[in-house]
Chains A and B, each alone.
Chain A
Amino acid sequence: MMEWIFEFIAADLRTMTPILLAALGMAFSERAGSVNIGAEGIMLIGALAGAAGSFLFGSIWAGAFVAMASGALIALLFAYLTVTLYADQIVVGAGLNVLGLGLSTSIARVLFGVNTTPPQLDAYKIVPIPLLEKIPLLGPALFQQKLLVYVAIVLVPIVHFILFRTNMGLKIRAVGEHPQACDTLGINVYRTRYATLIISGVFLGLAGSYVSLGLLSFFTENMISGRGFIALAAVVFGKWKPKGILFAALLFGAGDALQFRLQASGTEIPYQFLLMVPYVLTIAALIGLVGKAKGPAARGKPYLK
């Protein structure tokens, strides 16, 4: 039983990592007032870019870098359209999802060819934490994970610190609440929104690369499979606070991990209902635990000088 529990925790950590990374990134952009339902598309491009980088340069670090850079690039496009041209954030996001799917699939085919064995790529490796990994049961579950799992968890307090303790964080939060007031204080609202969107793009790209090179070691079409949307939900569920987001991501991860295990241990429940678990959980969490959570006041609204 104990073993089962730790296996479960390990699986939870693995599955929640891309959601956590993506959601932490979006904490920045959402705090500054941007709602990006195109997260899914950006992650997909990140997943491909990571694989492509690793494929072309033979190193996972190159892969991670290319993933972050392309995430940033797509986020820049989002910023240009929504901030500079005042386009509707929801449509642009929807457009990015379509773009992400088309672009990642097309480029993957050009790069890796069709119908061939996926290339062997340098992927994120398991990095055991010395000593801690030796703890019986707990060690293998918590301290024998891929690097990005630790990175994501360590980023939680860091993002919290940036958002709530630094000058930049204060500006970001203020811009999402009352951009006009920021303008009267000489804060460049547009630049702040661009910057936070680019940061979120970096995170989303990295999260995507974790799906292709951390959970797996290659790229396949549409492999993000809704994790971008779940990350979006995690931001809301976590009330735009890193700690809350961590909790939300852990919960979604747990829902997923639980569902694999329930199925694997053979139950009578039709599998479709098990697959619903994370989604039902999200709704239950939204209506039960969060209550009337209000996001940043200027969230989703373009700012006109």
Chain B
Amino acid sequence: MSPVLEMNGIVKRFPGVLANDHVDLRVEKGEVHALLGENGAGKSTLMNVLYGMYEADEGDIRFKDQEVHVKGPGDAIALGIGMVHQHFMLVPALTVVENVILGMKDNGRVLDLKAAAEKITALAERYTMKIEPFTLVGQMSVGQQQRLEILKALYRGAELLILDEPTAVLTPQEVKGLFNMIGAFTSEGRTVIFISHKLKEVMAISDRVTVLRSGKVAHTLHTSDTDPKELARLMVGREIDLSCEKFSCADNREVLRMERVCAENEKGMAILKELNLTIREGEILGVAGVDGNGQDELAEVLTGLRRVTSGTITMNEKDITNASCRHILNQGVSHIPADRQLRGMIGDMNVVENLLLMRYHDRPFAKPFHLDWKRIEHRAETLVKEFQVKTPGIKVPMATLSGGNQQKVVLGREIERNPKLLVAMHPVRGLDIGATEYIHKRIIEQRDRGCAILLISTELEEILELSDRIVVMYEGEIMGSVDCSCVTIEQLGLMMAGHRWEEVAGEKSEG
């Protein structure tokens, strides 16, 4: 078989960075080709070159045996290359149909949305997707948005589909759906390039793997000839250890208690329904569930960002129901928010100022009339060192750090306060395995120190690996609270789909 895509000697420089250093990539027709590499290895850059977002400084691209010059995404689309970006490129204020047909060359001057909607529904059905053409994209869950992104590319007749970290925000069920779709797609003789940090997924879906390291190709190999350990070594250059010990903490003091807590979303719909929860000192409570089942609201209610409509929350026997955010923070609550860009950091501020975020009114840093910048900077240096943040300096804007390093800053800031309760949402979303390993280690350290941890994640593996106890949320309710050692992935999956523990407890695990 001749390759459908050949990228030869691609070089892409950014000021001070050689993002792609003579990269050769060959992708066969009909295969799923995985692209692996640490954060900043140059994967997205390479794909952006292919898709016409960047112009390569050197190198050439052959697609379907033709030398091609992709000057912009328009050219790529015309060639039959589709890309689903790491950060979704959807317009939340527009409907599904509008997003799908946006910018299509063959749209009439006057839009026929009905006809387009029918085409889209038909296309979606072909790939066993369900999509409601006239809902606003802003009201859809991330999983749905992900599907929509793919649909957009399919609608444009993509022969080669680039998926940049498509599973970072998906639930296991959704990942399964995505993989089915990829299967259907490649069985039609079309091709997929798949970027992911999750080695298990890469093993499961891909035919071949190319590993990038520091902008260079480290290796290209057949998936069947390798294993996760080898891939990890190729990426990072050392062995990775992901196992951790678990403790029994049944007798420890209770830190947090939520009783019959209800809350509403912006539209006044009940989003948390009579929630009961407890966490003990030194315990990691994992909250599993499909995104959008009240996990965000749970974290917000706990940290004072959202009002409780009824019920009580007590922490260390003090009532903190509907207390102000500041008051709750002062009780020793730390929060790693789901979206670091949106909430966890200030991109335009430098690292020092970002590290100050929770402490700017605290004694040693805030003098009666001014901030003690000397002390603040000294502390920042220490934290940056302690948390191994890779940054050219402590005074560069946060936005210029890579996602993994941004997350380390957030984590460092939150852990440094020695919290009694740590609410961690998707703490490793989008991070490479090196960074993931590091952050998990630090979270466990906190647990060992006696901190109570609420770990919210859509990654079942992460939950199973770290948690001592697991609750599953579905439509704002808790389906069950189980000990980590006596539950299977299948049971969790069923609970995430809305079955109660009592219903699934009997199911025999298959190992």
Contact = CB atoms under 8 A, between A and B. Distances in A.
A186 B93 contact: no
Contacts of B152: 185
B381 interface: no
Given A173-B93, A178-B90, A181-B90, A187 B110 contact: no
Interface stretch (A60-68, A120-128, A161-169, A224-232): A161-169
A194 to B, nearest CB: 17
A166 B73 contact: no
B108 A167 contact: yes
Contact of B103 (A165, A186, A296, A297): A186
B191 to A, nearest CB: 19
Question: Secondary structure of the B side of the interface?
Answer: loop
A241 interface: no
A164 B83 CA distance: 27
A184 B53 contact: yes
A174 B91 contact: yes
Chain A, interface residues (CB within 8 Å), range? 20 to 34
B102 A182 contact: yes
Interface in B62-94: 72-77, 83, 85, 89-94
B267 interface: no
Given A177-B91, A187-B103, A165 B73 contact: no
Chain B, interface residues (CB within 8 Å), range? 20 to 34
A171 B109 contact: no
A282 to B, nearest CB: 25
A47 B109 CA distance: 33
Given A173-B94, A174-B94, A177-B91, A185 B110 contact: no
Contacts of A165: 110-111
Nearest to B84: A184
Given A166-B110, A167-B108, A167-B109, A184 B91 contact: no
A280 interface: no
A88 interface: no
A174 B97 CA distance: 13
The CB with the most chain A CB atoms within 10 A, among B90, B108, B110, is that of B110
Contacts of B89: 178, 180-181, 184-185
16 contacts: A165-B111, A166-B110, A168-B109, A170-B94, A171-B102, A174-B102, A177-B92, A180-B89, A181-B102, A182-B103, A183-B73, A184-B83, A184-B85, A186-B73, A187-B103, A296-B93
Given A170-B94, A170-B98, A183-B53, 8 more contacts: A165-B111, A166-B109, A166-B110, A171-B103, A174-B98, A178-B89, A186-B76, A186-B77
Interface of B: 51, 53, 72-77, 83, 85, 89-94, 98, 101-103, 107-111, 152
